[in-house]
């Protein structure tokens, strides 16, 4: 596995692979890797000739300075995991490398960023688009792999890819869960024991909501999920919404239920967890 710290090193490797007509698969990450990230690496390996990963904790997508400061980092362990998974190239740039000047670009996501994560984390998706577009320019992949735990992020990245006319296939990969159901996330490392024990409740409630939605309206199911999380004093609901999975618009009354997704954000102490469930009937 080759580790590149600068765009120049990366571009030499990338151009060599491209001239050999290799298909490049790309997995962008912020490090603190877990099995969810490794599943993306495996997906890339299975459908590309060369897999490139990046590790970069992107400051412009953090709307909360303490979240950026506390974000878990363990480069050595990440590199070992990537090497063992069969990744070919890792790009580990510095902040100066990615942002030699302030990035003032403002993206238009046709309102996909006006709800849920976008509403509660102002500027977050603009920062995601800034870094992902810079990484796409540096890696020039044919395909890029993203986890569906960040469902709204995947929608935003697809929109950005379309609007900026990148010829890159965006591949959305399933959520990977702990045996107790908690969606894998780098932030899980930050959970104190009492919160870690409770956190699987989030997915248990989402699964139960699937059954409820069979016989009740999205509005009532939202109220039910809100009540269930509210019953647990150690968890604080930031939002739960049932939205159309393509437009991300909130749905309250009965509609075509197979296009709906329930998205949730919950504070467990000072750690913010997100999860979602697709209502497939």
Q: Report which secondary-structure segment, H or E, holds 169.
A: strand 169-173
Looking at 131, 170, 205, 277, which residue binds ligand PAF (CB under 6 A)?
Answer: 131
Contact flag: residue 132 with ligand PAF (CB under 6 A): yes
The verdict on 31 binding ligand PAF (CB under 6 A) reads no
Contact with ligand PAF (CB under 6 A): which of 33, 52, 128, 198? 128
Helices 124-139, 7-19: axis angle to 10 degrees equals: 50
Least distance (Å) from ligand PAF to the CB of residue 230?
A: 29
Helix (H) or strand (E) holding 144: strand 143-147
120 is catalytic: no
Q: Is residue 118 a contact point for ligand PAF (CB under 6 A)?
A: no
Please tell me whether residue 32 binds ligand PAF under the rule CB under 6 A: no
- Residue 78 as a binder of ligand PAF (CB under 6 A): the answer is no
Site membership for ligand PAF, residue 113 (CB under 6 A): no
Q: Is 150 left (phi over 0), alpha (psi -120 to 50) or beta?
A: beta
- Cα distance between residue 181 and residue 260, in whole Å: 21
Query: Please, which residue, 28 or 262, has the CB nearer to ligand PAF?
Result: 28
Alpha helices in 124-231 (DSSP H): 124-139, 151-163, 193-198, 200-215, 218-230
Which is closer to ligand PAF, CB of 154 or CB of 234?
154
* Cα–Cα distances in angstroms (integers) from residue 165 to residues 24, 60, 157, 262, in the given order: 18, 23, 12, 30
Contacting positions for ligand PAF (CB under 6 A): 28-30, 58, 61, 128, 131-132, 150, 153
Which active-site residues does the annotation give? Answer: 37
């Amino acid at each position: 596995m080759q580790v590149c710290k600068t765009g120049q090193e990366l571009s030499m490797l990338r151009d060599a692979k491209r001239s050999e007509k290799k298909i490049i698969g790309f997995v962008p990450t912020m490090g603190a890797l877990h099995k969810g990230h490794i599943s993306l690496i495996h997906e890339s390996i299975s459908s590309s000739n060369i897999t490139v990963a990046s590790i970069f904790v992107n400051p412009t997508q953090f709307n909360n300075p303490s979240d950026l400061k506390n974000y878990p980092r363990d480069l050595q362990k990440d590199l070992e995991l990537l090497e063992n998974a069969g990744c070919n190239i890792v790009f580990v740039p510095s902040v100066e490398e990615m942002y030699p000047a302030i990035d003032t670009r403002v993206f238009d996501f046709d309102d996909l960023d006006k709800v849920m994560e976008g509403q509660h984390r102002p500027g977050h998706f603009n920062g995601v688009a800034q870094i992902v577009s810079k990484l796409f320019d540096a890696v020039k992949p044919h395909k890029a792999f993203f986890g569906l735990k960040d469902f709204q992020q995947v929608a935003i990245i697809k929109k950005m890819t379309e609007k900026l006319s990148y010829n890159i296939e965006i591949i959305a990969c399933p959520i990977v869960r702990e045996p107790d159901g908690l969606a894998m996330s780098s932030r899980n490392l930050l959970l104190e024991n009492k919160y870690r024990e409770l956190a699987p409740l989030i997915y248990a409630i989402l699964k139960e909501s699937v059954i409820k939605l069979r016989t009740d309206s999205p509005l009532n199911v939202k109220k039910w999920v809100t009540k269930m999380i509210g019953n647990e004093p150690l968890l604080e609901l930031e939002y739960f919404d049932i939205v159309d999975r393509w437009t991300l618009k909130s749905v309250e009354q009965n509609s075509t239920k197979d296009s709906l997704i329930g998205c949730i954000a919950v504070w467990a102490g000072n750690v913010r967890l997100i999860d979602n469930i697709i209502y497939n009937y």
